[in-house]
Amino acid sequence: MRRTEEKENDFLAGYSRTGASTIGECIADGRRVADAICTKDDGQWRREESIPFMDPEIRLQEISVKKGAIEAKPNPRCDYDPATFGATEKARCLECDFVCNKCVDVCPNRANIAVPVRGNPLFSDPFEIVHIDAYCNECGNCGHFCPWHTGVPYVDKPTVFSLKEDLHNSENPGWFVDEETLLVRFDGTVKTVSWDDARAAARGNGAEARFYALFLELYKQRPGLFGPVEPAVAGVPR
Ligand code: SF4
Ligand code: SF4
């Protein structure tokens, strides 16, 4: 049962405060409690974190290896050496702050893809997530597993549509390509744009420039993802 009354110097964190949650939420809660205790002792206290610089290319390679080999050892309950345990935990951290892509890993239908955008100054992360409307059955997995809870990937992420009516029936930002036509929804507005307009927009700044730059990058890398498909016929798979 969750406790609701407040008691001075009692701090609840993780499951005891929220009920069943994720490990990430519990870790974040633990840090919030630690911050609250420090601030209670010293009103001027502020968390300071200095993250050592690491070459992004080397970091990317190391994270890729770790993502393929998640190991937890030693078990702190039977063989507790704080230094070894700390080193092991550090080594298996997946560094979701730099490369997350969790919504790609957990989608059973491969309906989210990570588009490499390294080198484009418009983007601060090495990958951008794009959603493929036609593959998604709206199971919700990607939203549940998103460690940042920044939204629901299958709703929020720029989306490739395979039918014009699918774009109109959705509220996702995204693109539909049909021969010479590029139909987009950006910031809630649907419009047809020319390829020249798209290229010009991608040379600008801010969210709109990123939206068009991501489209052009994906179109260059995976043109087969774009284009219309035959509308579904009941009982016949597309
Ligand atoms: S909601 Fe769609 S994109 Fe998300 S995990 Fe399910 S099928 Fe994949
Ligand atoms: S949408 Fe969520 S799960 Fe997907 S990459 Fe971004 S933070 Fe990770």
pLDDT tens-place values along the chain, 238 residues long: 344 456 778 888 877 777 776 677 778 888 889 998 999 889 899 888 787 888 888 988 888 888 777 666 666 566 677 787 778 778 888 888 888 999 999 999 999 999 999 989 999 999 999 999 999 999 999 999 998 766 799 999 999 999 999 999 999 999 999 877 899 999 999 999 999 999 999 999 999 999 999 999 999 999 999 987 766 666 555 5
- pLDDT at residue 77, as a whole number: 64
- pLDDT at residue 113, as a whole number: 96
Per-domain boundaries in the chain: 10-49, 56-92, 102-225
Instruction: Tell which one of 102, 104, 110, 137 to mutate to probe ligand 1, the residue whose CB is within 8 A of the most ligand atoms.
Output: 137
- Coil vs helix vs strand at 8: coil
- Tell me which residue has its CA closest to atom 4 in ligand 1: 142
CB of residue 131 inside a 6 A radius of ligand 2: no
CB of residue 109 inside a 6 A radius of ligand 1: yes
**For residue range 100-158, what is the model confidence (pLDDT) as tens digits?**
999 999 999 999 999 999 989 999 999 999 999 999 999 999 999 998 766 799 999 99
CA of 180 to the centre of ligand 2 (A): 32
CA of 138 to the centre of ligand 1 (A): 5
Whether 195 contacts 209, CB under 8 Å: no
Whether 219 contacts 227, CB under 8 Å: no
Q: What is the DSSP letter of 29?
A: H
- pLDDT at residue 147, as a whole number: 82
- pLDDT at residue 1, as a whole number: 35
Residues in contact with 126: Cβ distance below 8 Å, sequence separation at least 6, in sequence order:
56, 60, 98, 99, 116, 117, 118
CB of residue 107 inside a 6 A radius of ligand 2: no
Instruction: Tell which one of 25, 103, 105 to mutate to probe ligand 2, the residue whose CB is within 8 A of the most ligand atoms.
Output: 103
- Closest-lying ligand to the alpha carbon of 160? 1
CB of residue 129 inside a 6 A radius of ligand 2: yes
